Amino acid sequence: MSATISRREFVETAAGLVIAFHLPSGIAERTFRPAAAPSFSPNAWLSIGTDGVVTLTVDKSEMGQGSQTGLAMILAEELEADWSTIRLGPVPENPAGWSRRMSTGGSTAIHTSWDML
């Protein structure tokens, strides 16, 4: 190999190295990743993971009234769960399994949502 290499040789070598180091790691990651354990979901709004994290899906907008925090606090109290294990999750884009309208108004978020917990 000569002391100087052409630009074309450099680009070809660099591209080969990128492919050699990038593809196998991506394939190995997809091949050997263990399957995620299923979570317990008693309804469309609540999911409890195997790690103890409780995810609450709230179909109300937070407009500074603390409705999402209030619902999460009610859930933590009802489940006797540690507050640090409660998470809020997003509402699905296609809510086919939802029986409620996704709306917020009149300071009724907690009043109309507490029974789902």
pLDDT (mean) for 7-36: 69
Residue 17: per-residue pLDDT: 75
Question: pTM here?
Answer: 0.57
The per-residue pLDDT for 10 is 86
pLDDT (tens digit, 9 = 90+) per residue, 75-109?
A: 999 999 998 999 988 877 666 666 556 666 667 77
Q: Mean pLDDT across the chain, nearest whole number?
A: 77
DSSP state of 42: S
Angular region, 91: left φ>0, alpha ψ -120 to 50, beta rest = beta
Mean pLDDT, residues 29-50? 74
Residue 47 has which token pair? 């999911």
Report the DSSP beta bridge partners of residue 57.
89
List of long-range contacts for 73-80, beta carbons under 8 Å, 24+ apart:
74/110, 74/114, 74/117, 75/46, 75/117, 78/117, 79/54
Q: How far apart are CA 58 and CA 46, in angstroms?
A: 9
pLDDT band at 4 (very low <50, low <70, confident <90, very high): confident
